[in-house]
Amino acid sequence: MADLKQLARQIFHETLAAIDIPATMQRKLRRKGTRIVCGEKTLDLKDFEKIRVVAMGKAAHAMVEGLVKVLAPFVGFEGVVSAPSLPRKTVPGLKYFAAGHPVPNGESWKAAEAILALLKRCDEKTLAFFLLSGGGSALVELPLDSKQTLEDVRQLHQALVSCGAGIDEINTMRKHLSAVKGGRLAAAAPQATKITLAVSDVPAGKESALASGPTLPDPTTLEEVKRVIGKYSLREKLPPAVQRWLDEGKMPETPKAHDHAFRKAFFSLIIGMDDLFHPAHHAAEALGFVTCCDNSTDDWPVEKAATSLLGQLEELQTIHRGQRVALIADGEVSSPVTGDGIGGRNSALVLACAEKIAGKRVAVLSAGTDGVDGNSPGAGAVADGETLQRAREAGLDAGDFFRRSDAFTFFSKLEDAVVTGATGNNLRDLRILLADR
Protein backbone atom coordinates (compact mmCIF):
# COMPACT_ATOMS: atom_id res chain seq x y z
CA MET A 1 0.00 0.00 0.00
CA ALA A 2 3.01 2.28 0.32
CA ASP A 3 2.98 2.30 -3.47
CA LEU A 4 -0.50 3.84 -3.52
CA LYS A 5 0.64 6.68 -1.29
CA GLN A 6 3.62 7.30 -3.53
CA LEU A 7 1.40 7.27 -6.62
CA ALA A 8 -0.95 9.79 -5.00
CA ARG A 9 2.03 12.06 -4.32
CA GLN A 10 3.18 11.63 -7.91
CA ILE A 11 -0.22 12.64 -9.29
CA PHE A 12 -0.28 15.71 -7.04
CA HIS A 13 3.20 16.88 -8.05
CA GLU A 14 2.57 16.27 -11.74
CA THR A 15 -0.60 18.34 -11.47
CA LEU A 16 1.28 21.23 -9.85
CA ALA A 17 3.95 21.06 -12.55
CA ALA A 18 1.30 21.32 -15.27
CA ILE A 19 -0.07 24.63 -13.95
CA ASP A 20 1.81 27.36 -15.84
CA ILE A 21 0.17 30.68 -15.05
CA PRO A 22 2.29 33.01 -17.24
CA ALA A 23 1.89 30.73 -20.27
CA THR A 24 -1.86 30.35 -19.69
CA MET A 25 -2.29 34.12 -19.44
CA GLN A 26 -0.47 34.59 -22.74
CA ARG A 27 -2.73 31.99 -24.32
CA LYS A 28 -6.02 33.35 -22.99
CA LEU A 29 -5.18 37.07 -23.10
CA ARG A 30 -4.47 37.29 -26.82
CA ARG A 31 -2.54 40.18 -28.34
CA LYS A 32 -3.09 41.41 -31.92
CA GLY A 33 -0.94 44.48 -32.52
CA THR A 34 -2.27 47.18 -30.21
CA ARG A 35 -5.44 45.18 -29.56
CA ILE A 36 -5.92 42.80 -26.65
CA VAL A 37 -8.64 40.16 -26.76
CA CYS A 38 -9.88 39.11 -23.35
CA GLY A 39 -12.73 36.64 -23.65
CA GLU A 40 -15.45 38.43 -25.60
CA LYS A 41 -13.93 41.87 -24.92
CA THR A 42 -11.45 43.55 -27.28
CA LEU A 43 -9.49 46.62 -26.19
CA ASP A 44 -7.16 48.87 -28.15
CA LEU A 45 -4.22 50.10 -26.11
CA LYS A 46 -4.11 53.24 -28.28
CA ASP A 47 -7.36 54.37 -26.61
CA PHE A 48 -5.67 54.78 -23.24
CA GLU A 49 -3.10 57.19 -21.85
CA LYS A 50 -2.32 55.25 -18.67
CA ILE A 51 -2.10 51.57 -17.74
CA ARG A 52 -2.41 50.65 -14.08
CA VAL A 53 -1.91 47.22 -12.51
CA VAL A 54 -3.19 45.90 -9.18
CA ALA A 55 -2.11 42.33 -8.37
CA MET A 56 -3.08 40.55 -5.16
CA GLY A 57 -2.93 36.93 -4.11
CA LYS A 58 -0.62 33.96 -3.89
CA ALA A 59 -0.26 33.84 -7.68
CA ALA A 60 0.33 37.59 -8.03
CA HIS A 61 3.94 37.37 -9.22
CA ALA A 62 3.21 34.72 -11.84
CA MET A 63 0.23 36.72 -13.09
CA VAL A 64 2.30 39.91 -13.34
CA GLU A 65 4.91 37.98 -15.31
CA GLY A 66 2.24 36.77 -17.74
CA LEU A 67 0.69 40.23 -18.15
CA VAL A 68 4.05 41.89 -18.80
CA LYS A 69 4.74 39.39 -21.58
CA VAL A 70 1.35 40.13 -23.14
CA LEU A 71 1.77 43.92 -22.95
CA ALA A 72 5.40 44.09 -24.14
CA PRO A 73 6.77 46.25 -25.67
CA PHE A 74 4.24 48.64 -24.08
CA VAL A 75 5.88 49.74 -20.84
CA GLY A 76 5.65 52.54 -18.32
CA PHE A 77 2.66 51.34 -16.35
CA GLU A 78 2.32 51.84 -12.60
CA GLY A 79 0.92 49.45 -10.07
CA VAL A 80 0.83 47.66 -6.75
CA VAL A 81 1.58 44.00 -6.08
CA SER A 82 0.70 42.32 -2.79
CA ALA A 83 1.76 38.70 -2.25
CA PRO A 84 3.04 36.52 0.62
CA SER A 85 6.64 37.17 -0.47
CA LEU A 86 8.64 39.51 -2.67
CA PRO A 87 9.47 38.42 -6.25
CA ARG A 88 12.87 37.26 -7.44
CA LYS A 89 12.74 39.94 -10.13
CA THR A 90 10.80 43.18 -9.88
CA VAL A 91 9.05 45.08 -12.69
CA PRO A 92 9.81 48.82 -12.97
CA GLY A 93 6.86 50.97 -11.95
CA LEU A 94 5.37 48.42 -9.56
CA LYS A 95 5.39 48.73 -5.77
CA TYR A 96 5.69 45.41 -3.93
CA PHE A 97 4.39 44.39 -0.52
CA ALA A 98 5.12 41.15 1.35
CA ALA A 99 1.75 40.89 3.06
CA GLY A 100 0.25 38.52 5.62
CA HIS A 101 -1.81 35.37 5.16
CA PRO A 102 -4.13 33.97 6.50
CA VAL A 103 -4.14 37.00 8.82
CA PRO A 104 -3.33 40.51 7.46
CA ASN A 105 -0.15 42.26 8.58
CA GLY A 106 1.17 45.80 8.33
CA GLU A 107 2.12 45.29 4.70
CA SER A 108 -1.46 44.19 3.91
CA TRP A 109 -2.63 47.52 5.30
CA LYS A 110 0.03 49.53 3.41
CA ALA A 111 -0.77 47.68 0.18
CA ALA A 112 -4.46 48.61 0.52
CA GLU A 113 -3.58 52.26 1.09
CA ALA A 114 -1.25 52.24 -1.93
CA ILE A 115 -3.92 50.65 -4.15
CA LEU A 116 -6.58 53.18 -3.15
CA ALA A 117 -4.14 56.05 -3.77
CA LEU A 118 -3.32 54.60 -7.20
CA LEU A 119 -6.98 54.19 -8.18
CA LYS A 120 -7.85 57.70 -7.01
CA ARG A 121 -5.68 59.03 -9.88
CA CYS A 122 -7.42 56.94 -12.55
CA ASP A 123 -9.70 58.62 -15.12
CA GLU A 124 -11.57 57.72 -18.32
CA LYS A 125 -8.26 57.38 -20.19
CA THR A 126 -6.97 54.77 -17.73
CA LEU A 127 -6.91 51.03 -18.36
CA ALA A 128 -6.65 49.21 -15.03
CA PHE A 129 -5.77 45.53 -14.82
CA PHE A 130 -6.71 43.72 -11.62
CA LEU A 131 -4.91 40.38 -11.21
CA LEU A 132 -6.67 38.34 -8.54
CA SER A 133 -5.82 34.99 -6.99
CA GLY A 134 -6.50 33.14 -3.76
CA GLY A 135 -5.34 34.69 -0.51
CA GLY A 136 -6.08 38.23 -1.64
CA SER A 137 -8.58 38.74 1.17
CA ALA A 138 -5.81 38.83 3.77
CA LEU A 139 -3.00 40.15 1.58
CA VAL A 140 -4.82 43.46 0.98
CA GLU A 141 -6.94 44.83 3.79
CA LEU A 142 -8.12 48.12 5.25
CA PRO A 143 -11.16 48.58 7.50
CA LEU A 144 -14.08 50.67 6.30
CA ASP A 145 -14.24 52.19 9.78
CA SER A 146 -11.17 54.42 10.16
CA LYS A 147 -11.23 54.02 13.95
CA GLN A 148 -10.32 50.34 13.71
CA THR A 149 -6.67 49.38 14.03
CA LEU A 150 -4.52 46.71 12.41
CA GLU A 151 -4.85 44.62 15.56
CA ASP A 152 -8.64 44.88 15.27
CA VAL A 153 -8.42 43.67 11.67
CA ARG A 154 -6.15 40.78 12.64
CA GLN A 155 -8.49 39.69 15.44
CA LEU A 156 -11.44 39.88 13.07
CA HIS A 157 -9.79 37.69 10.43
CA GLN A 158 -8.64 35.18 13.03
CA ALA A 159 -12.16 34.94 14.44
CA LEU A 160 -13.61 34.40 10.98
CA VAL A 161 -11.22 31.68 9.80
CA SER A 162 -11.48 29.71 13.04
CA CYS A 163 -15.22 29.87 13.78
CA GLY A 164 -16.27 27.04 11.44
CA ALA A 165 -18.07 29.28 8.94
CA GLY A 166 -17.98 28.39 5.26
CA ILE A 167 -15.95 30.50 2.85
CA ASP A 168 -19.11 32.20 1.50
CA GLU A 169 -20.09 33.25 5.00
CA ILE A 170 -16.59 34.46 5.83
CA ASN A 171 -16.50 36.54 2.66
CA THR A 172 -19.91 38.04 3.41
CA MET A 173 -18.43 39.44 6.61
CA ARG A 174 -15.16 40.54 5.03
CA LYS A 175 -16.85 42.42 2.19
CA HIS A 176 -19.05 44.52 4.43
CA LEU A 177 -16.31 45.45 6.90
CA SER A 178 -13.58 46.30 4.39
CA ALA A 179 -12.72 49.40 2.36
CA VAL A 180 -11.19 47.29 -0.43
CA LYS A 181 -13.54 44.30 -0.82
CA GLY A 182 -17.02 43.66 -2.17
CA GLY A 183 -16.66 45.86 -5.26
CA ARG A 184 -15.09 48.80 -3.47
CA LEU A 185 -11.91 48.84 -5.57
CA ALA A 186 -14.05 49.20 -8.70
CA ALA A 187 -15.90 52.03 -6.98
CA ALA A 188 -12.56 53.70 -6.21
CA ALA A 189 -11.91 54.18 -9.97
CA PRO A 190 -15.40 54.61 -11.45
CA GLN A 191 -14.29 56.31 -14.71
CA ALA A 192 -11.51 53.83 -15.61
CA THR A 193 -11.87 50.79 -17.82
CA LYS A 194 -11.27 47.86 -15.49
CA ILE A 195 -10.21 44.37 -16.55
CA THR A 196 -10.16 41.74 -13.81
CA LEU A 197 -8.18 38.59 -14.59
CA ALA A 198 -8.57 35.72 -12.15
CA VAL A 199 -6.78 32.56 -11.09
CA SER A 200 -9.63 31.08 -9.11
CA ASP A 201 -9.73 29.05 -5.92
CA VAL A 202 -13.50 29.45 -5.59
CA PRO A 203 -16.40 27.46 -7.11
CA ALA A 204 -17.60 28.29 -10.61
CA GLY A 205 -20.34 30.88 -10.45
CA LYS A 206 -19.03 32.34 -7.21
CA GLU A 207 -16.28 34.52 -8.64
CA SER A 208 -17.22 37.41 -6.34
CA ALA A 209 -15.79 35.30 -3.50
CA LEU A 210 -12.27 35.37 -5.00
CA ALA A 211 -10.16 37.73 -2.85
CA SER A 212 -13.58 38.81 -1.49
CA GLY A 213 -14.58 40.30 -4.84
CA PRO A 214 -12.82 43.70 -4.80
CA THR A 215 -13.88 44.58 -8.36
CA LEU A 216 -17.19 42.71 -8.75
CA PRO A 217 -20.72 43.57 -7.63
CA ASP A 218 -21.43 42.02 -4.25
CA PRO A 219 -24.49 39.74 -4.12
CA THR A 220 -24.41 39.51 -0.31
CA THR A 221 -26.36 41.81 1.99
CA LEU A 222 -26.34 43.39 5.42
CA GLU A 223 -29.06 40.95 6.49
CA GLU A 224 -26.72 38.06 5.67
CA VAL A 225 -24.01 39.65 7.80
CA LYS A 226 -26.38 39.66 10.77
CA ARG A 227 -27.31 36.04 10.10
CA VAL A 228 -23.66 34.90 10.02
CA ILE A 229 -22.89 36.75 13.26
CA GLY A 230 -25.79 35.06 14.99
CA LYS A 231 -25.20 31.59 13.55
CA TYR A 232 -21.62 31.39 14.81
CA SER A 233 -22.02 33.54 17.93
CA LEU A 234 -19.43 35.86 16.46
CA ARG A 235 -20.27 39.10 18.22
CA GLU A 236 -18.41 38.20 21.41
CA LYS A 237 -15.40 37.06 19.37
CA LEU A 238 -15.06 40.33 17.48
CA PRO A 239 -12.79 43.18 18.66
CA PRO A 240 -14.58 45.82 20.79
CA ALA A 241 -14.06 48.48 18.09
CA VAL A 242 -15.84 46.29 15.52
CA GLN A 243 -18.63 45.52 17.98
CA ARG A 244 -19.18 49.24 18.63
CA TRP A 245 -19.25 50.02 14.90
CA LEU A 246 -21.81 47.29 14.28
CA ASP A 247 -23.95 48.46 17.23
CA GLU A 248 -23.95 52.04 15.89
CA GLY A 249 -25.52 50.79 12.65
CA LYS A 250 -23.08 52.68 10.44
CA MET A 251 -22.17 49.76 8.16
CA PRO A 252 -23.11 50.71 4.56
CA GLU A 253 -24.29 48.24 1.95
CA THR A 254 -21.72 47.06 -0.59
CA PRO A 255 -21.87 48.17 -4.27
CA LYS A 256 -24.39 46.20 -6.34
CA ALA A 257 -24.62 45.38 -10.06
CA HIS A 258 -26.46 48.60 -10.95
CA ASP A 259 -23.66 50.78 -9.54
CA HIS A 260 -22.02 53.12 -12.06
CA ALA A 261 -18.58 51.75 -11.06
CA PHE A 262 -19.25 48.51 -12.97
CA ARG A 263 -20.29 50.14 -16.26
CA LYS A 264 -16.77 49.71 -17.71
CA ALA A 265 -15.71 46.71 -15.63
CA PHE A 266 -15.00 43.29 -17.18
CA PHE A 267 -14.08 39.92 -15.67
CA SER A 268 -12.22 36.97 -17.20
CA LEU A 269 -11.36 33.65 -15.57
CA ILE A 270 -7.81 32.78 -16.64
CA ILE A 271 -7.41 29.53 -14.70
CA GLY A 272 -10.17 27.64 -12.90
CA MET A 273 -11.46 24.21 -11.91
CA ASP A 274 -10.92 22.54 -15.28
CA ASP A 275 -7.30 23.64 -15.34
CA LEU A 276 -6.81 21.69 -12.11
CA PHE A 277 -8.91 18.64 -12.96
CA HIS A 278 -7.50 18.01 -16.44
CA PRO A 279 -3.82 17.48 -15.51
CA ALA A 280 -4.77 15.48 -12.40
CA HIS A 281 -7.13 13.28 -14.43
CA HIS A 282 -4.46 12.76 -17.09
CA ALA A 283 -1.76 11.90 -14.53
CA ALA A 284 -3.99 9.32 -12.80
CA GLU A 285 -5.05 7.65 -16.05
CA ALA A 286 -1.44 7.53 -17.24
CA LEU A 287 -0.73 5.41 -14.15
CA GLY A 288 -3.47 2.95 -15.05
CA PHE A 289 -6.35 4.22 -12.90
CA VAL A 290 -9.92 4.48 -14.17
CA THR A 291 -10.51 8.05 -13.08
CA CYS A 292 -13.52 10.19 -12.17
CA CYS A 293 -13.60 13.86 -11.12
CA ASP A 294 -15.97 15.35 -8.54
CA ASN A 295 -16.58 18.68 -6.83
CA SER A 296 -19.83 17.89 -5.01
CA THR A 297 -18.30 18.06 -1.51
CA ASP A 298 -17.14 21.67 -1.74
CA ASP A 299 -17.60 23.55 1.55
CA TRP A 300 -18.89 20.43 3.35
CA PRO A 301 -17.92 19.64 6.95
CA VAL A 302 -14.75 17.57 6.97
CA GLU A 303 -16.31 14.33 8.33
CA LYS A 304 -19.24 14.48 5.90
CA ALA A 305 -16.88 15.12 2.98
CA ALA A 306 -14.62 12.21 3.97
CA THR A 307 -17.58 9.80 4.14
CA SER A 308 -18.99 10.96 0.80
CA LEU A 309 -15.70 10.81 -1.10
CA LEU A 310 -14.85 7.34 0.19
CA GLY A 311 -18.38 6.22 -0.69
CA GLN A 312 -17.88 7.45 -4.25
CA LEU A 313 -14.57 5.61 -4.42
CA GLU A 314 -16.29 2.36 -3.39
CA GLU A 315 -18.91 2.88 -6.08
CA LEU A 316 -16.15 3.25 -8.67
CA GLN A 317 -14.63 -0.01 -7.43
CA THR A 318 -17.98 -1.75 -7.82
CA ILE A 319 -18.54 -0.42 -11.32
CA HIS A 320 -14.98 -1.14 -12.47
CA ARG A 321 -14.38 -4.38 -10.60
CA GLY A 322 -10.87 -5.75 -10.98
CA GLN A 323 -9.40 -2.39 -12.03
CA ARG A 324 -7.53 0.35 -10.23
CA VAL A 325 -9.75 3.38 -9.70
CA ALA A 326 -9.12 7.02 -8.79
CA LEU A 327 -11.37 9.82 -7.60
CA ILE A 328 -10.10 13.37 -8.08
CA ALA A 329 -11.92 16.04 -6.08
CA ASP A 330 -11.40 19.74 -5.51
CA GLY A 331 -12.74 22.51 -3.29
CA GLU A 332 -12.51 23.42 0.35
CA VAL A 333 -13.97 21.62 3.34
CA SER A 334 -15.09 23.20 6.59
CA SER A 335 -12.89 22.25 9.53
CA PRO A 336 -13.45 24.31 12.70
CA VAL A 337 -10.39 24.86 14.87
CA THR A 338 -10.98 22.97 18.13
CA GLY A 339 -7.48 23.01 19.62
CA ASP A 340 -4.12 24.72 19.54
CA GLY A 341 -2.40 22.17 17.28
CA ILE A 342 -0.73 22.53 13.89
CA GLY A 343 -2.62 21.72 10.72
CA GLY A 344 -5.39 22.73 8.37
CA ARG A 345 -8.45 21.44 6.55
CA ASN A 346 -6.46 19.19 4.20
CA SER A 347 -4.55 17.23 6.82
CA ALA A 348 -7.73 17.15 8.94
CA LEU A 349 -9.65 15.53 6.09
CA VAL A 350 -6.97 12.89 5.56
CA LEU A 351 -6.95 12.16 9.29
CA ALA A 352 -10.75 11.80 9.18
CA CYS A 353 -10.29 9.21 6.42
CA ALA A 354 -7.56 7.21 8.19
CA GLU A 355 -9.90 5.11 10.35
CA LYS A 356 -12.42 4.65 7.54
CA ILE A 357 -9.81 3.14 5.19
CA ALA A 358 -7.97 1.04 7.80
CA GLY A 359 -7.02 -2.35 6.35
CA LYS A 360 -8.13 -1.42 2.83
CA ARG A 361 -6.03 -1.04 -0.31
CA VAL A 362 -6.87 2.64 -0.47
CA ALA A 363 -4.84 5.86 -0.29
CA VAL A 364 -6.12 9.39 0.31
CA LEU A 365 -4.16 12.60 -0.33
CA SER A 366 -5.50 16.10 0.25
CA ALA A 367 -3.35 19.20 -0.20
CA GLY A 368 -3.48 22.88 -1.05
CA THR A 369 -2.21 23.76 -4.51
CA ASP A 370 -0.63 26.86 -2.95
CA GLY A 371 1.52 24.63 -0.72
CA VAL A 372 -0.18 25.87 2.46
CA ASP A 373 -2.53 24.04 4.82
CA GLY A 374 -3.81 26.15 7.70
CA ASN A 375 -1.13 27.17 10.18
CA SER A 376 1.20 24.34 9.19
CA PRO A 377 4.36 24.42 7.06
CA GLY A 378 2.86 21.70 4.85
CA ALA A 379 0.37 21.54 1.99
CA GLY A 380 -1.57 18.59 3.43
CA ALA A 381 -1.11 14.87 4.04
CA VAL A 382 -1.49 11.37 2.63
CA ALA A 383 -2.74 8.17 4.31
CA ASP A 384 -3.47 4.57 3.39
CA GLY A 385 -4.95 1.44 4.92
CA GLU A 386 -1.90 0.92 7.12
CA THR A 387 -1.76 4.45 8.57
CA LEU A 388 -3.95 3.78 11.61
CA GLN A 389 -1.99 0.64 12.60
CA ARG A 390 1.35 2.41 12.17
CA ALA A 391 0.07 5.26 14.35
CA ARG A 392 -1.00 2.87 17.11
CA GLU A 393 2.37 1.16 17.03
CA ALA A 394 3.98 4.58 17.42
CA GLY A 395 1.72 5.44 20.35
CA LEU A 396 -0.27 8.05 18.41
CA ASP A 397 -4.01 8.47 19.11
CA ALA A 398 -5.56 9.65 15.83
CA GLY A 399 -8.76 10.83 17.53
CA ASP A 400 -6.84 12.94 20.03
CA PHE A 401 -4.81 14.64 17.28
CA PHE A 402 -8.02 15.34 15.35
CA ARG A 403 -9.73 16.89 18.38
CA ARG A 404 -6.73 19.14 19.02
CA SER A 405 -6.58 20.30 15.36
CA ASP A 406 -3.07 18.81 15.25
CA ALA A 407 -3.27 16.72 12.09
CA PHE A 408 -0.01 18.03 10.61
CA THR A 409 1.93 16.89 13.68
CA PHE A 410 0.29 13.46 13.46
CA PHE A 411 1.32 12.94 9.83
CA SER A 412 4.76 14.47 10.32
CA LYS A 413 5.53 11.81 12.92
CA LEU A 414 4.55 9.15 10.36
CA GLU A 415 6.47 10.94 7.56
CA ASP A 416 3.23 11.28 5.64
CA ALA A 417 2.91 15.07 5.58
CA VAL A 418 2.93 16.60 2.11
CA VAL A 419 5.38 19.51 2.06
CA THR A 420 5.99 21.49 -1.12
CA GLY A 421 6.81 25.00 0.03
CA ALA A 422 5.04 27.96 -1.58
CA THR A 423 4.09 26.97 -5.13
CA GLY A 424 3.38 30.44 -6.55
CA ASN A 425 -0.12 29.47 -7.62
CA ASN A 426 -3.41 28.99 -5.86
CA LEU A 427 -6.21 27.01 -7.41
CA ARG A 428 -8.45 24.89 -5.25
CA ASP A 429 -7.44 22.23 -2.74
CA LEU A 430 -6.88 18.92 -4.51
CA ARG A 431 -7.92 15.51 -3.20
CA ILE A 432 -6.69 12.26 -4.73
CA LEU A 433 -8.29 8.98 -3.66
CA LEU A 434 -6.84 5.76 -5.06
CA ALA A 435 -8.04 2.18 -4.71
CA ASP A 436 -6.16 -0.91 -5.89
CA ARG A 437 -7.89 -3.97 -7.28
Q: Which sign does the torsion angle of CA 306, 308, 311, 317 carry?
A: negative
User: Is-contact 29 70, C-beta < 8 A?
Assistant: yes
Kindly list the strands in the beta sheet with 325-330, ordered across the sheet, starting from the edge strand earlier in the chain: 290-294, 325-330, 430-435, 362-367, 380-384, 417-418
DSSP per residue, 251-288: PPPPP-TTSGGGTTEEEEEEE-HHHHHHHHHHHHHHTT
- Name which of 10, 1, 63 is nearest 280 in CA terms: 10
Q: Where are the alpha helices (DSSP H) in 339-431?
A: 345-354, 387-393, 398-403, 407-413
Class of the CATH domain delimited by 33-271 = alpha beta
Class of the CATH domain delimited by 2-9+274-435 = alpha beta
User: Is-contact 350 408, C-beta < 8 A?
Assistant: no
Helix, strand, coil percentages for the chain (3-state, nearest 5): 40, 20, 40
* pTM flag (> 0.85): no
A 10 A CB-CB count for 280 gives 25
pLDDT at 75: 66
Q: Nearest 5 degrees, angle CA 343-CA 238-CA 347?
A: 10
The CA–CA distances, whole Å, from 241 to 235, 236, 244, 427 equal 11, 12, 5, 34
- Name which of 210, 190, 195, 214 is nearest 71 in CA terms: 195
pLDDT at 162: 81
Letter for the amino acid at 379?
Answer: A
pLDDT at 298: 82
Beta-carbon-side half-sphere exposure of residue 378 (alpha carbons within 13 Å): 25
Q: Could you list the pLDDT tens digit for every one of the 437 residues in the chain?
A: 559 999 999 999 999 988 888 988 888 888 888 999 988 889 999 999 999 999 999 999 999 999 999 988 776 789 999 999 999 999 999 999 999 988 899 999 999 999 999 999 999 999 999 999 988 889 999 999 999 999 999 999 888 888 888 778 888 999 999 999 999 999 999 999 999 999 876 666 677 778 889 999 999 999 999 999 999 999 989 999 999 999 998 899 999 999 999 999 999 888 877 788 999 999 999 999 999 999 888 889 999 999 999 999 999 999 999 999 999 998 888 888 888 899 999 999 999 999 999 999 999 999 999 888 988 999 999 999 999 999 999 999 999 999 999 999 999 999 999 999 888 777 789 999 999 98
Domain boundaries, the chain: 2-9+274-435, 33-271
